[in-house]
Amino acid sequence: MTLARRIREMEASPTMAVDAKAKALKAAGEPVIGFGAGEPDFATPANVVEAARSAALTPAAHRYSPVGGQPVLREIVAAATSASSGQDYDLSQVVIANGGKHALYNVFMSLLDPGDEVIVPAPYWVSYPEQIKLAGGVPVAVATSTDSGFLATVDQLEAARTERTKALVFVSPSNPTGAVYPPEQTAAIGAWAAEHGIWVVTDEIYERLVYGDAAFTSLPQVAPAAAERTIIVSGVAKSYAMTGWRVGWAVAPPELAAGMAKLQSQVTSNVCNIAQAAAIEALTGPQTAVEEMRQAFDRRRRLAVESLSAIAGVSVVEPEGAFYVFPSFEGVLDRQVAGRHVETSLELADVLLTDAKVALVPGEAFGAPGYARISYALSDEDLTEGIERIAALLQG
């Protein structure tokens, strides 16, 4: 059989691939430490699980519900997004999807025509370019590096702008770098987008996970002129340890939200009602677990930065959000590691998995060769042990 061109030409998700490999090796009894997928190691808070249990016992949850999401959940999301963004959203502007990833896919499918360009600052999360291409769009990467703390500037974005530029993907806190844009830079980027009629797709999935002096800023809050062409994407996965429940959303101007709901009506229908009930409880119930998890991530962040910085040849920009560190391994490439000549971060990731039983995602996956992403959303013991293994292999 011949696969369709769109599938042949698309990359499988490297984050999911690394995670699947690490989990399979672990299941086979290998002592693998997985720094791969960004997935909190905590259990979903008990009150959320209890809400799902009650929903599972309620016949209404056994039936179809509105395609774009249960009205109660959409109201809650509209109110929360209005509060964080300083805009006035109502439930007609919210589409509940099967995770933030699916919400993003809905956005690109509903927004882009063939040939439309979308500026994507790099390092970028693996699924943006592939989803843009699936929708017929053209991802245009704008490289950033440790020098600028992985923050894109208006000048860089302007240099990438063409007649075909339709949208910008703006992510803060960033996956994979953990960078958080200061409010002034967010405002400047939003003003630039508004001036040129460029849509902003802003992924706020890590909004609750910021550390130290950094603060989360929603782009429309500081750039109201961009609001009418901004789509906010978020979900419960990262803040509430709910990656497997698959509840995310997009908040968009009404016409675009209707377009996304139309797409969902033909493709998936409603998100699992039990998962939606869990999301309602997550967003409206006690928030203590969110803060406890954030504090644990903060501790691990400091641990990761400290121990990685101590490895000769590895340089680290301190992340201020999400749960990733994105060190440069350039200083340890192009030399022998564990008896192999290691030229690239892709090869280094392979050697680390084979010889140190440590799974991380090579920078190539994020459009940033020479780097690698380490998720610190795992236990302190595993984190310490994993970085010790990396150090031992590189220094051995």
Segment 38 to 57, residues that bind ligand GLU, using CB under 6 A:
38
101 or 357: whose CB is closer to ligand GLU? 101
* Interface with ligand GLU (CB under 6 A), residue from 10, 16, 258, 351: 16
183 or 369: whose CB is closer to ligand GLU? 369
Q: Is 293 in the site for ligand GLU (CB under 6 A)?
A: no
Q: Is 37 in the site for ligand GLU (CB under 6 A)?
A: yes
Tokens matching residue 233: 């994407």
- Could you tell me the smallest distance in angstroms from the CB atom of residue 305 to ligand GLU? 19
101 or 166: whose CB is closer to ligand GLU? 101
How far the first Cα of the chain sits from its last, in Å, is 48
Alpha helices in 203-338 (DSSP H): 219-222, 254-267, 273-284, 288-309
125 or 211: whose CB is closer to ligand GLU? 125
Q: Is 378 in the site for ligand GLU (CB under 6 A)?
A: no
Spatial distance between the Cα atoms of 84 and 382, rounded to a whole number of angstroms: 35
- Is-contact 93 79, C-beta < 8 A? no
**Candidate ranges 13-21, 196-204, 246-254, 296-304; the one touching ligand GLU (CB under 6 A):** 13-21
Q: What is the DSSP string of 247-268?
A: -EEEE--HHHHHHHHHHHHHHT
Q: Which of 368, 383, 375 is nearest to 328 (CA)?
A: 368
Spatial distance between the Cα atoms of 104 and 202, rounded to a whole number of angstroms: 9
Q: Is 65 in the site for ligand GLU (CB under 6 A)?
A: no
String marking each residue 164-193 x if it binds ligand GLU according to CB under 6 A: -----------x------------------
125 or 326: whose CB is closer to ligand GLU? 125
16 or 138: whose CB is closer to ligand GLU? 16
61 or 383: whose CB is closer to ligand GLU? 383
- Is-contact 118 166, C-beta < 8 A? yes
* Sheet of 372-375, strand order: 324-325, 372-375, 361-362
Spatial distance between the Cα atoms of 249 and 69, rounded to a whole number of angstroms: 9
The 3-state DSSP composition of the chain as helix, strand, coil percent (nearest 5) reads 50, 15, 35
Tokens matching residue 182: 């200061």
**Candidate ranges 12-20, 105-113, 164-172, 294-302; the one touching ligand GLU (CB under 6 A):** 12-20
Tally of residues, the chain: 396
Q: Is 13 in the site for ligand GLU (CB under 6 A)?
A: yes
Residues whose CB is less than 8 angstroms from the CB of residue 116 and which lie 6 or more positions away in sequence, other chains included? 136, 137, 138, 164, 166, 167
- Give the count of residues interacting with ligand GLU (CB under 6 A): 10
Segment 84 to 123, residues that bind ligand GLU, using CB under 6 A:
101
- Could you tell me the smallest distance in angstroms from the CB atom of residue 171 to ligand GLU? 11
Q: Is 125 in the site for ligand GLU (CB under 6 A)?
A: yes
- Could you tell me the smallest distance in angstroms from the CB atom of residue 247 to ligand GLU? 14
78 or 359: whose CB is closer to ligand GLU? 359
| Contact residues: ligand GLU, CB under 6 A | 13, 15-16, 37-38, 101, 125-127, 175
